[in-house]
């Protein structure tokens, strides 16, 4: 939901700002803009364009440059994706520019007040109110932009990351955050501000984490962080553990394909050092139930987690859509462990559900992929997945590692509560260790599946069936296909078919059935479901670990413990979605209408 970059330093700003935007484009890609402080005290150089970043780059032929600037890539909320609504937004003199990620909830009343004071608005955005407010506040504070920003933040409702630059003091960039991400990149003679470390990883690996309601001011040689009362705050410094190559395509046609192929490593990295126990300071004996909160793909990982945790730890587990959770009156208290799963660690729905659960006394364990993210910081404990940066909007390797995190948590609780015997623990850990090689094996044999997928590119709808953990896997397969191929796709529990969905089957409808034999009796039941859909004209692609003659097309995957099977069976589903998107000419890494981090509710 919008990517934000700021640079001030010894070098020209245009290159790091544009490079940063390129790496943040996954966050939003309906328009982009930059502001550069080219001349002291003169209007800023601003260029903004609707559409992808390349439109902005083409418009920048004049290539004005300076040593400091800010840039923005947008996912529209208030006001359509037009040149005018693109960020930065300017004050009436054109000397102050502001970019924003989030939503200003009280922008209507602010705008009315500001218009009465003579401010002229150009866009339909919520952001523009803030730049006018900041302009007045700067005058009230004798040109001190950081003080003005603190004053303005106190007047704002909602969520925001804000960056501002004024041409009177061009080497200063001021930022602020509430409920949206902002990190500082600390360089030598240059400093950066960005929504995500990916924006500046090519320049520095030293980052500072900013807390809630903090304001930061950077110059080429200084970083000052304060709270809203102006008190200096010591920001937590950390070193980014991956390097720039992880945020590049490295010879693959798309980030998504690269990330599918990175899964064996991501799984191995997430398992490393954790099979003999997690270093979590939680007393599992005190919990009477577990609630998993998450959205989208992370929610599907949570559904698999329920099966594993209930089986291995014998604690009841509910899995809840984070966006729904706090709007009813869920039963939770001090004896509830809430597990929040989020790749980005900044999904607003998940964050709000987490805060709600915390306010009711629940203990929060989060599973995040992004170091220093808000969800991680607001949790009692965090289990980081080590998927590395996931750039493609559709989640693949992050899902695989979220599954691994679920298994590790189930194993940990089962072990701590003595619900698993030593033999069971040994069997599970051995099976987990084998997963990277098994995923590798699938990836070596997916070529025929890619060819097969292309045959279905004109299908109206694709159905996915599974039982037990195959059901959430089917949901994940359908979600991937919807978001990438823009096709109607649904995931069903095999047993539910006859209760309605079977009416969707028509002559030639592709049905993908997940049927590992480790599911025992359920595999037999799936075989019957397959016959039922075939009898009604479906073309069935079966994903199984053994020979099965009832399939129109059989995709073989290796055997594994039933609970661990989703890590394997999801791989062909990811490949189907990828290939279908390519065959239909869609933008694989940046599907329409989506953004990677959903930082608005």
Active site residues: 2, 596
Region of 92-100, 343-351, 443-451, 582-590 interacting with ligand F6R (CB under 6 A): 343-351
Q: Considering only residues 350-389, where is the footprint of ligand F6R by CB under 6 A?
A: 350
Nearest to ligand F6R of 180, 342 (CB atom) = 342
CB of 318 to ligand F6R, least distance (A): 18
Dist CA 317 CA 141 (whole Å): 53
Cβ 590 vs Cβ 28: under 8 Å: no
Dist CA 514 CA 450 (whole Å): 17
Dist CA 211 CA 594 (whole Å): 27
Nearest to ligand F6R of 180, 395 (CB atom) = 395
Q: Which residue has the tokens 């003999």?
A: 276
Region of 48-56, 94-102, 136-144, 344-352 interacting with ligand F6R (CB under 6 A): 344-352
CB of 30 to ligand F6R, least distance (A): 17
Q: Considering only residues 460-519, where is the footprint of ligand F6R by CB under 6 A?
A: 479, 483
Cβ 177 vs Cβ 195: under 8 Å: no
Q: How many CA atoms lie within 13 A of 194 on its CB side?
A: 30
β-pairing, 68-74 with 3-9? antiparallel
Q: What is the 3-state secondary structure of 13-43?
A: CHHHHHHHHHHHHHHCCCEEEEEECCCCCCC
Dist CA 408 CA 304 (whole Å): 12
Q: Considering only residues 128-147, where is the footprint of ligand F6R by CB under 6 A?
A: none
Q: Which residue has the tokens 């005058």?
A: 139
Nearest to ligand F6R of 226, 396 (CB atom) = 396
| Measured CA angle at 460 (ends 454, 464), to 5 deg | 75
Residues 6+ positions from 1 with CB-CB distance below 8 Å = 27, 28, 75, 77, 101, 102, 180, 595, 597, 598, 599, 600
> Site for ligand F6R (CB under 6 A): which residue of 176, 278, 394, 420?
394
CB of 296 to ligand F6R, least distance (A): 2
Cβ 540 vs Cβ 550: under 8 Å: yes
| Measured CA angle at 87 (ends 83, 89), to 5 deg | 105
Tokens of 175: 């930022």
For 458, which DSSP code? Answer: T
Nearest to ligand F6R of 202, 267 (CB atom) = 267
Nearest to ligand F6R of 453, 544 (CB atom) = 453
Q: Considering only residues 56-85, where is the footprint of ligand F6R by CB under 6 A?
A: none
Nearest to ligand F6R of 8, 599 (CB atom) = 599
Region of 108-116, 245-253, 340-348, 548-556 interacting with ligand F6R (CB under 6 A): 340-348
Residue nearest to ligand F6R (CB): 296
Cβ 163 vs Cβ 157: under 8 Å: no
Residue 347 interacts with ligand F6R (CB under 6 A)? Answer: yes
- Interface mask (CB under 6 A) for ligand F6R, residues 182-201, using x and -? --------------------
For 179, which DSSP code? Answer: B
Cβ 299 vs Cβ 479: under 8 Å: no
Tokens of 414: 């089962």
Residue 574 interacts with ligand F6R (CB under 6 A)? Answer: no
Nearest to ligand F6R of 350, 529 (CB atom) = 350
In this structure, the number of other CB atoms found within 10 A of the CB of residue 90 comes to 21
In this structure, the number of other CB atoms found within 10 A of the CB of residue 499 comes to 9
> Site for ligand F6R (CB under 6 A): which residue of 31, 85, 395, 544?
395
Residue 179 interacts with ligand F6R (CB under 6 A)? Answer: no
- Interface mask (CB under 6 A) for ligand F6R, residues 291-320, using x and -? ----xxxx----------------------
How far is it between the farthest Cα atoms of the chain?
Answer: 79
Cβ 156 vs Cβ 51: under 8 Å: no
Nearest to ligand F6R of 192, 299 (CB atom) = 299
CB of 73 to ligand F6R, least distance (A): 17
Tokens of 208: 């500072």
Dist CA 473 CA 489 (whole Å): 13
Kindly state the helix (H) or strand (E) to which residue 404 belongs, with its residue range.
helix 397-416
Nearest to ligand F6R of 557, 598 (CB atom) = 598
CB of 104 to ligand F6R, least distance (A): 22
Q: Please give the order of strands across the beta sheet that includes 539-544.
A: 488-493, 461-466, 510-514, 539-544, 553-556
In this structure, the number of other CB atoms found within 10 A of the CB of residue 585 comes to 7
Q: How many CA atoms lie within 13 A of 120 on its CB side?
A: 4
Nearest to ligand F6R of 70, 479 (CB atom) = 479
> Site for ligand F6R (CB under 6 A): which residue of 161, 342, 401, 529?
342
> Site for ligand F6R (CB under 6 A): which residue of 382, 409, 598, 600?
598
CB of 320 to ligand F6R, least distance (A): 14
CB of 525 to ligand F6R, least distance (A): 29
- Interface mask (CB under 6 A) for ligand F6R, residues 251-290, using x and -? ----------------------------------------
Residues that bind ligand F6R (CB under 6 A): 295-298, 342-344, 347, 350, 394-395, 479, 483, 597-598
């Amino acid at each position: 939901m919008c990517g934000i970059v700021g640079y001030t330093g010894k070098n020209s700003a245009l290159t790091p700002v544009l490079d940063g935007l390129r790496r943040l484009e996954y966050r939003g890609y309906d328009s982009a803009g930059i502001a550069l402080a080219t001349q002291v005290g003169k209007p800023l150089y601003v260029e903004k364009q609707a559409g992808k970043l390349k439109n902005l780059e083409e418009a920048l032929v004049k290539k004005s440059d300076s040593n400091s600037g800010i840039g923005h890539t947008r996912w529209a909320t208030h006001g359509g994706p037009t040149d005018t609504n693109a960020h930065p937004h300017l004050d009436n003199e054109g000397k102050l520019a502001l970019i924003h990620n989030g939503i200003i909830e009280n922008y209507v009343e602010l705008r009315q007040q500001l218009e009465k004071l003579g401010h002229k608005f150009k866009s339909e955005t919520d952001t523009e109110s803030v730049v006018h407010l900041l302009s007045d506040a700067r005058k009230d504070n004798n040109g001190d932009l950081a003080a003005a920003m603190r004053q303005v933040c106190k007047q704002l409702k909602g969520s925001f990351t804000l960056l501002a630059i004024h041409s009177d003091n061009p080497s200063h960039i001021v930022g602020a955050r509430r409920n949206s991400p902002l990190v500082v990149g600390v360089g030598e003679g240059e400093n950066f501000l960005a929504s995500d470390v990916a924006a500046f990883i090519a320049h520095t690996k030293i980052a500072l984490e900013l807390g809630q309601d903090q304001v930061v001011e950077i110059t080429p040689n200084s970083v000052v962080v304060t709270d809203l009362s102006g008190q200096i705050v010591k920001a937590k410094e950390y070193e980014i553990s991956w390097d720039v190559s992880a945020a590049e395509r490295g010879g693959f046609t798309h980030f998504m394909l690269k990330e599918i192929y990175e899964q064996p490593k991501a799984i191995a990295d997430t398992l490393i050092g954790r099979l003999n126990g997690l270093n979590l300071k939680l007393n599992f004996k005190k919990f009477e139930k577990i609630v998993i909160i998450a959205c989208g793909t992370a929610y599907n990982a949570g559904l698999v987690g329920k099966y594993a945790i209930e089986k291995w730890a014998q604690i009841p587990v509910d899995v809840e859509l984070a966006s729904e959770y706090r709007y009813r009156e869920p039963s939770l208290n001090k004896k509830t462990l809430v597990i929040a799963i989020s790749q980005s660690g900044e999904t607003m729905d998940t964050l709000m559900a987490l805060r709600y659960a915390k306010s009711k006394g629940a203990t929060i364990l989060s599973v995040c992929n992004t170091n220093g993210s808000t969800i991680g910081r607001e949790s009692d404990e965090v289990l980081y997945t080590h998927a590395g940066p996931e750039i493609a909007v559709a989640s693949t390797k992050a899902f695989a590692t979220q599954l691994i995190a679920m298994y590790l948590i189930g194993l940990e609780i089962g072990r701590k509560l003595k619900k698993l015997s030593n033999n069971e623990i040994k069997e599970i850990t051995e099976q987990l260790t084998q997963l990277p090689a098994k995923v590798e094996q699938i990836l070596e044999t997916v070529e025929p599946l890619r060819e097969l997928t292309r045959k279905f590119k004109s299908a109206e709808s694709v159905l996915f069936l599974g039982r037990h953990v195959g059901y959430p896997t089917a949901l994940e397969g359908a979600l991937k296909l919807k978001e990438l191929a823009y096709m109607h796709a649904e995931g069903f529990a095999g047993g539910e078919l006859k209760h309605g969905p079977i009416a969707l089957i028509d002559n030639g409808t592709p049905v993908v059935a997940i049927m590992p034999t480790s599911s025992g009796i359920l595999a037999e039941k799936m075989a019957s479901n397959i016959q039922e859909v075939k009898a009604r004209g479906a073309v069935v692609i079966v994903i199984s670990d053994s020979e099965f003659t009832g399939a129109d097309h059989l995709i073989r995957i290796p055997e594994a413990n039933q609970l661990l099977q989703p890590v394997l069976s999801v791989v062909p589903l990811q490949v189907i979605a990828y290939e279908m998107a390519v065959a239909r000419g869609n933008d694989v890494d940046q599907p329409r209408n989506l953004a990677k981090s959903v930082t608005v509710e």
